[in-house]
Structure 1
Amino acid sequence: MFVLSSQVLDLCVLATVNKEDTYGYKLTQDLIEAISISESTLYPVLRRLQKDNCLTTYDQPFGGRNRRYYQITPEGRRQLKKYEQDWIGYKESIDKIIRGDLK
């Protein structure tokens, strides 16, 4: 199993929230389908992305309680684009190593 860097986790969270506003538990379940992540790992990522103005939150009633939803901001979309570009370059470099295409 690969250890995911904080930038890769940020990319995964921002890409998921970019599709639709979502709450923490659902976000965790969605990401678990693709990568190994726990709620205890996810919530610090969400707080950091909020602090960096990439995500904002709002509460919505659900089942007699409030559910906190995360929404991507314009800054979050800019950061997502940067992470996507970085990821493509990183993946291409790793693919070269795996294929033995190094000079």
Structure 2
Amino acid sequence: MNYDKGLIAGSSALLVLSLLKEQERYGYELIKTLKDRSNDAFDFKEGTLYPILHKMENEGWIRSENKTVNGRTRRYYAITARGVKQLEVQQEQWSHFSSAVNQVLSFQGSGS
């Protein structure tokens, strides 16, 4: 299913921060993990992911560094203490927001 870009944009930082809280990852690894865990619902392109990562780095939510693993140099991203706090805020917001949306969608009022 193709999702509205606004829905994805509103949740992308939450998704990326949650993956980085587990472990540091490089860009393609983030893309693949999001796609795999969402059963292909979140199929980010590099042109979508990297601006998100740069914004989060500018906010101080993540840090990055180049590492060479098995002869291959990649840019790895890791969550910071500030990013963990931001993740907690976004998780709480998402929980309240999704609950409110579900309440509206499931309302069985008398209708008009």
TM norm structure 1: 0.89
Aligned residues: 103
Unmatched 5+ residue regions in structure 2? Answer: none
Q: For residue 74 of structure 1, what is the aligned residue in structure 2?
A: 81
Inter-partner Cα distance in structure 2 for 1:36 and 1:93: 26
Given the alignment, which residue of 49, 52, 77 partners 1:42?
Answer: 49
Higher RCO (C-alpha under 8 Å, 6+ residues apart): 1
Inter-partner Cα distance in structure 2 for 1:79 and 1:6: 16
Inter-partner Cα distance in structure 2 for 1:36 and 1:24: 13
Unmatched 5+ residue regions in structure 1? Answer: none
Percent sequence identity is 26
TM norm structure 2: 0.83
Report runs of 4+ in structure 1 exceeding 2 Å deviation: 1-7, 62-65
Distance 1:96 1:32, change over 3 A: same
